[in-house]
Chains A and B, each alone.
Chain A
Amino acid sequence: MIAHPFQYAAPDTLDAAFAMLAGRSDARVLGGGTVLVALMGLGDVQTSLVLDTRNLPLSGIQPRHDGVSIGAAASYNAIEGSPLVRDTAPLLAHVCRQITGGRQITNQATAGGAACYSNPASDIPACIVALNACMRLGSVAGVRAVPAAEFFTGAFKTDRRDDEMLLEIVVPASNWTRFGYIKQKHATSSWPIVTAACLADGEGNIRVAVGGAASRPYIVEILVREGELPSDSARRIGERAREMLTEPWSDALAPAQYRQRIVRPVVERAVKQALDGQPL
């Protein structure tokens, strides 16, 4: 039960939504509500305004000349089922397919909402950082674009201003031909502890985004110079991922030390999965 009183609005134009957010610091934008409503019920989030995105034109998934645009209010199911996403960013479709909670959650929850929540222990941040996605944010001041790698500024923190809302996640087309995704968690109901989203091109170039290990995702890459033959890349990337983790994240399910210990094998497995898998 949500104890505190608050205003609820479901505007049907972006301009109306921007106007409501303008000048406010404690409004909350509601995507699917699977996080926000639970936190309001626990009293962890108190807000004067809940702005529901349900009537806004934000749930579409559209082609862009340079990739695919995923509306901020598109559900995991919609993303996973989109042929466009499957073609352009199969890693994202794959990640959306294995969100914890089954259909009841994936029909309701949104990737955009998960991105804005910026929980280190979640799937979306590392996935879209790996994909080099771009976050488009809107407000009365206009629209601006922020690379995903800069959008996530810390645990439960993003570059989004209080008067802004996420409009879309743009995933660019790329030359990656393979992917791997490892989500390490304690049990089915657990949130992810460490995730590794890996992209590879079959020529030795490999890019991994590590989630959950630190308070924000970080990238580990091997880019091959001409003439160089990659060898033992999974182990090398895993090792580097561990070295780069200087301030591991900690939460109720796993201490920092645990994350420090498992980051190497998790990354290694994601790389192996990508390299061993069929090319796309």
Chain B
Amino acid sequence: MPISAEHKARKDASGSIPRIDAHRYVNGKPVYTADLLPLGCLHVALLRSPHPRAHIMRMDVTRAKAAPDVVAVVTATDLSDMAPIPAALPFRGDVQGRGAIMGRCLAGDEVCYIGQPVVAVVAGSVHAAQAALALIYVEYQPCPALLDFHEAQDEGAVAAHPGWTTNVVASDEIGRGDFDEACRMADVVVCGELDFAPSTTAPMEPCSFTGAWDASLERVSLIGTLQNPHTTRWMIATALRMPEAAVRVVAPPLGGSFGLKMAGHPEEVLVCALARHLKRPVNFTEERWETLLAPCRRQTHSFQIAATRDGRILGFADRFVADVGITGPGNGWSMPLVTAAVFPTVYDVEHCRISATLVATNSMPWQPIRGYGKEIGNAVMERAVDLLAARLALDPIALRRKNLISADAFPVKLASGLNLDSGDYATALKALIELFGYDAWRARQAEKKHSDKVIGIGIAFELTPEGGARPGAFPSGFETATVKLMPGGGVQVLVGVTSPGSGNETGIAQLVAAELGVDVKSIQVVQGDTDVTPVGTGHASSRAMLYGGTAAVLAARDLRAKILICAANILNRPIEGLHIEAGVIVDAGVRPQALTIVDVAHQAHTNPIIVAKGTELPLEATRSFQPINVSVVPDDKGRIATYSSFPYSVHAAAIELDRCTGSVKILDYACVHDCGVMINPMLVTGQLKGAIVMGIGAALWEELTYDAAGRPLSRRFKEYLLPRAIDLPDIRVGHMSTPSPYHPLGLKGAGESGVGGGLAVMLSAVADALGERRDALTRCPATPPTLLDAMA
């Protein structure tokens, strides 16, 4: 695999070292939110709405209040002094009839989705709190609800949101060239449809939040399962009408997250309000069925692809509607806007017309999910290319090869205005064909053609815009790091990005260690404490290394300069020849010095007037990083481009489809991935494989189901089927590195990539196995009943 440009991060920063905190995980020692309950902590249970839409006529909580061990029963009336929770991402532009988001912790006089919190019971035990829920009387007057998002834009449709007169949450029209003209020039125009059922994140650790009140300082604190602690702090401060300095938010290690734990759950704020009200610590921990309430991905696409007879793609159009439910404070609702922005992915397509409409229904607000809408766009694009290949009787690889953006064309703009940084898609495809053994698999497929169990082979590209820097989002396109040399000689890094358990703390430590010339073990990375770490977004959009790691490098370079000034003062040597190697100050061309970085730290703090001459104590530096490959000023089409980084991958899979039962077994999987310069390839590979597995699950099995009244039927892992290890083949990964010319270290985002490829390649393989019936696959996940329907 080529490393095609200068490796801009220090070479000694890279390496597949184990995670610096691995010992804690393998020994079962990480401390999660629910392990950190303070003494005397109270527990919250929530009475949730059983109706998608109803007026609350009357409520009686007296019996619940009198129940054993119950401390308080709280309704919206008790929280009337609170302000609404602000939106993590405000609406852009105007939509006639669109009102405010649902920013209240508890429903007031009406409910607008099943699962909406209505009453909070606070008790001495989880058991007592949950038991008291049965004693609450709420008289609901159900009213017409909007459950089917296909009806959302009908004349006279019920408005799902109280106070709105439209169901349109947002829309986007993206155009380039003239798609109609492309159709006129084309020899063939292939149409298709693809519906995505709702699925969810399903982390091992459910959400858990502990609010506490410090009476002496008059401060509130929250410890919780949080991806964006600073955003959450701002939401709490705003809703509780407190200064941000009076709110501390701490995010301990997470047991999986995948977007679910981004800011915006009403419970994050609720436990703080309850703690302040009761002057006692209060915890809310979800039950598994509550974790499975958060839906996402429900979209229905109708696409067209126009091409010449020999397979040159001239145009692509897609019109889709996404059901984003009720819009709450989180930013999950905006994911379909990113779906629209990713077209036409890695392909050079002159004429594009994309139309996206996001509609509200009376269902739970979306929480973000890994892929963030990009996975859907990639799956739709790959589906269109596959159907075109079948129509033209071309090999899907040959068709792709013919239409890939060429390596020398970069930078290249997508129809949405996103500016692709760099890539070499054709080389990636070539490498994949070898890694996968494409021809051998096609031969095996031909042998089994007439059997009950046929083989399907899928190919799919994924383009993954990363480093989201959306104007208006809190916070947005920057990250900050402070690097400190402690008086005892250790190094501490404070950074605004957080870790979902992916290992970014290790990558950041590797970068800082290389810049400072010290051992990675001497570095402590502190994340997820708003009292200590700089303001930042947390983790989202693969930004931890891309932004946070880069800020840490810049700060480490400044700190190194300070350390060398001190060393020069101690050694009485010119600074020019000094550098640091393995924690020792080295004087180029002279004798090795006995002076270590520990000595410098000690002497700078104890003898500052001499040692720190010419620099400024303390021995620390704070730097921020902002991406350059974004444009937030609208262009002549009114578009902005808010992703700076474009990793990509190409996937191949072989599956076996049982024609009698519709069940699918995955036989083989290979992927070639390019996220530019990698700091720790082992950790990148781990994240990539996990993402691929999420994509496989979403393609084949994972689906939230509901009854006709909108009640969730998927309440545990017997109804929501996640892939297990034995459902999966060995995933073979090859890496390429095409550094980003827009990033100082050549990095592109890593960690999210793979979901879209996994999703798209499974749909591609299953459709390939369907053969003549491939067009009949119009629904995802491709469960056995769906596939049997397609074959019928």
Instruction: List residues of chain A with CB under 8 Å of any chain B CB.
Output: 1-5, 38, 41-42, 184-191, 193, 252-255, 257-258, 261-262, 264-266
Q: When A and B form their complex, which 5 residue pairs have the shortest distance between CB atoms, in order from nearest? A: A265-B660, A3-B130, A258-B785, A188-B724, A252-B719
Verify B716–A38 contact, CB threshold 8 A.
Answer: yes
Which residue of A2, A191, A253 is within 8 Å of B127 (Cβ)?
A2
Measured in the bound complex, the distance between the Cα atoms of B88 and A186 in whole Å is 38
A/B interface sample: 7 pairs, CB < 8 A: A3-B45, A187-B724, A188-B723, A193-B784, A258-B662, A262-B660, A262-B662
**Assuming A186-B783, A261-B788, is B660 touching A3 (CB within 8 A)?**
no
Residue in A closest to B718 when the chains form the complex, CB atoms: A191
Measured in the bound complex, the distance between the Cα atoms of B785 and A255 in whole Å is 8
The smallest beta-carbon distance between B450 and chain A, in angstroms, is 16
Residue B717 at the chain A interface, CB threshold 8 Å: yes
The smallest beta-carbon distance between B43 and chain A, in angstroms, is 9
| A3 CB contacts on chain B under 8 angstroms | 45, 127, 130-131, 133-134
Verify B716–A42 contact, CB threshold 8 A.
Answer: yes
| A189 CB contacts on chain B under 8 angstroms | 717-718, 721-722, 724
Interface string of B342-374 (1 = CB under 8 A from A): 000000000000000000000000000000000
Measured in the bound complex, the distance between the Cα atoms of B704 and A253 in whole Å is 10
Verify A187–B716 contact, CB threshold 8 A.
Answer: no
Residue B663 at the chain A interface, CB threshold 8 Å: yes
Residue B289 at the chain A interface, CB threshold 8 Å: yes
**Assuming A41-B287, A261-B788, A265-B660, is B130 touching A187 (CB within 8 A)?**
no
In this complex, which of A2, A4, A185, A258 has the most chain B Cβ atoms within 10 angstroms of its Cβ?
A: A258
| B723 CB contacts on chain A under 8 angstroms | 187-188
The smallest beta-carbon distance between A117 and chain B, in angstroms, is 13
Verify B663–A184 contact, CB threshold 8 A.
Answer: yes
Measured in the bound complex, the distance between the Cα atoms of B723 and A187 in whole Å is 7
Verify B660–A187 contact, CB threshold 8 A.
Answer: no
| B312 CB contacts on chain A under 8 angstroms | none
Verify A187–B127 contact, CB threshold 8 A.
Answer: no
Measured in the bound complex, the distance between the Cα atoms of B126 and A66 in whole Å is 51
| A255 CB contacts on chain B under 8 angstroms | 785
The smallest beta-carbon distance between B8 and chain A, in angstroms, is 43
Residue B705 at the chain A interface, CB threshold 8 Å: yes
Residue in B closest to A4 when the chains form the complex, CB atoms: B131
Verify B718–A186 contact, CB threshold 8 A.
Answer: no
Interface size classification for chain B:
35 or more
| A1 CB contacts on chain B under 8 angstroms | 126-127, 130, 287
Measured in the bound complex, the distance between the Cα atoms of B788 and A257 in whole Å is 10
| A41 CB contacts on chain B under 8 angstroms | 287
Verify B726–A188 contact, CB threshold 8 A.
Answer: yes
The smallest beta-carbon distance between A50 and chain B, in angstroms, is 15
The smallest beta-carbon distance between B7 and chain A, in angstroms, is 42
9 further contact pairs, Cβ within 8 A, besides A190-B701, A262-B662, A265-B660? A1-B127, A1-B130, A42-B289, A42-B716, A186-B701, A187-B721, A253-B721, A254-B784, A257-B785
Measured in the bound complex, the distance between the Cα atoms of B784 and A253 in whole Å is 10
Which residue of B131, B287, B721 is within 8 Å of A5 (Cβ)?
B131
**Assuming A3-B127, A3-B131, A258-B788, is B721 touching A252 (CB within 8 A)?**
no
Verify B705–A262 contact, CB threshold 8 A.
Answer: no
Verify B131–A252 contact, CB threshold 8 A.
Answer: no
In this complex, which of A188, A191, A255 has the most chain B Cβ atoms within 10 angstroms of its Cβ?
A: A188
Measured in the bound complex, the distance between the Cα atoms of B45 and A54 in whole Å is 32
The smallest beta-carbon distance between A7 and chain B, in angstroms, is 14
| A257 CB contacts on chain B under 8 angstroms | 785
Verify A252–B661 contact, CB threshold 8 A.
Answer: no
Verify A252–B714 contact, CB threshold 8 A.
Answer: yes
Interface string of B757-786 (1 = CB under 8 A from A): 000000000000000000000000001110
| B452 CB contacts on chain A under 8 angstroms | 265
Verify A253–B719 contact, CB threshold 8 A.
Answer: yes
The smallest beta-carbon distance between A77 and chain B, in angstroms, is 19
Verify B715–A42 contact, CB threshold 8 A.
Answer: yes
Which chain B residues (691-721) contact chain A, with CB distance < 8 Å? 700-701, 705, 713-719, 721
Residue in B closest to A238 when the chains form the complex, CB atoms: B660
Verify A262–B661 contact, CB threshold 8 A.
Answer: yes
Interface string of B538-555 (1 = CB under 8 A from A): 000000000000000000
Verify B727–A187 contact, CB threshold 8 A.
Answer: yes
**Assuming A186-B721, A188-B724, is B784 touching A265 (CB within 8 A)?**
no
Measured in the bound complex, the distance between the Cα atoms of B761 and A97 in whole Å is 34
Measured in the bound complex, the distance between the Cα atoms of B720 and A186 in whole Å is 11
Verify B131–A187 contact, CB threshold 8 A.
Answer: no
Which chain B residues (650-675) contact chain A, with CB distance < 8 Å? 660-663
Residue in A closest to B700 when the chains form the complex, CB atoms: A187
Measured in the bound complex, the distance between the Cα atoms of B716 and A38 in whole Å is 9
Verify B726–A258 contact, CB threshold 8 A.
Answer: no
The smallest beta-carbon distance between A243 and chain B, in angstroms, is 17
Residue in A closest to B724 when the chains form the complex, CB atoms: A188
Which chain B residues (125-153) contact chain A, with CB distance < 8 Å? 126-127, 130-131, 133-134
| B784 CB contacts on chain A under 8 angstroms | 186, 193, 254, 258, 262
The smallest beta-carbon distance between A89 and chain B, in angstroms, is 27
Measured in the bound complex, the distance between the Cα atoms of B784 and A42 in whole Å is 27
| A38 CB contacts on chain B under 8 angstroms | 716
**Assuming A1-B287, A4-B131, is B785 touching A265 (CB within 8 A)?**
no
Interface string of B716-753 (1 = CB under 8 A from A): 11110111101100000000000000000000000000
Verify B289–A266 contact, CB threshold 8 A.
Answer: no
In this complex, which of B130, B133, B452, B661 has the most chain A Cβ atoms within 10 angstroms of its Cβ?
A: B661
| B722 CB contacts on chain A under 8 angstroms | 189
Measured in the bound complex, the distance between the Cα atoms of B721 and A184 in whole Å is 15
Measured in the bound complex, the distance between the Cα atoms of B662 and A132 in whole Å is 31
Measured in the bound complex, the distance between the Cα atoms of B721 and A189 in whole Å is 6
Measured in the bound complex, the distance between the Cα atoms of B785 and A158 in whole Å is 29
Measured in the bound complex, the distance between the Cα atoms of B713 and A255 in whole Å is 14
Residue in A closest to B665 when the chains form the complex, CB atoms: A187
Measured in the bound complex, the distance between the Cα atoms of B712 and A252 in whole Å is 10
**Assuming A184-B661, A187-B727, is B788 touching A252 (CB within 8 A)?**
no
Verify B785–A254 contact, CB threshold 8 A.
Answer: yes
| B717 CB contacts on chain A under 8 angstroms | 189
The smallest beta-carbon distance between B708 and chain A, in angstroms, is 13
Residue in A closest to B132 when the chains form the complex, CB atoms: A3
**Assuming A3-B130, A42-B715, is B661 touching A190 (CB within 8 A)?**
no
The smallest beta-carbon distance between A2 and chain B, in angstroms, is 7
Verify B134–A187 contact, CB threshold 8 A.
Answer: no
Measured in the bound complex, the distance between the Cα atoms of B662 and A280 in whole Å is 32
**Assuming A1-B287, A42-B715, A190-B721, is B705 touching A252 (CB within 8 A)?**
yes
Measured in the bound complex, the distance between the Cα atoms of B715 and A164 in whole Å is 31
The smallest beta-carbon distance between A33 and chain B, in angstroms, is 15
| B785 CB contacts on chain A under 8 angstroms | 254-255, 257-258
Residue in A closest to B285 when the chains form the complex, CB atoms: A1
Measured in the bound complex, the distance between the Cα atoms of B128 and A4 in whole Å is 9
| B289 CB contacts on chain A under 8 angstroms | 42
| B715 CB contacts on chain A under 8 angstroms | 42
Verify B661–A266 contact, CB threshold 8 A.
Answer: yes
In this complex, which of B727, B784, B792 has the most chain A Cβ atoms within 10 angstroms of its Cβ?
A: B784
| A186 CB contacts on chain B under 8 angstroms | 663, 701, 721, 783-784
In this complex, which of A186, A187, A266 has the most chain B Cβ atoms within 10 angstroms of its Cβ?
A: A187
| A5 CB contacts on chain B under 8 angstroms | 131
Residue in A closest to B706 when the chains form the complex, CB atoms: A252
| A254 CB contacts on chain B under 8 angstroms | 784-785
Verify A265–B721 contact, CB threshold 8 A.
Answer: no
Residue in A closest to B125 when the chains form the complex, CB atoms: A1
Measured in the bound complex, the distance between the Cα atoms of B131 and A253 in whole Å is 30
Measured in the bound complex, the distance between the Cα atoms of B135 and A3 in whole Å is 12
The smallest beta-carbon distance between A261 and chain B, in angstroms, is 6
The smallest beta-carbon distance between A218 and chain B, in angstroms, is 19
Which chain B residues (292-332) contact chain A, with CB distance < 8 Å? none
| B660 CB contacts on chain A under 8 angstroms | 262, 264-266
Interface string of B259-299 (1 = CB under 8 A from A): 00000000000000000000000000001010000000000
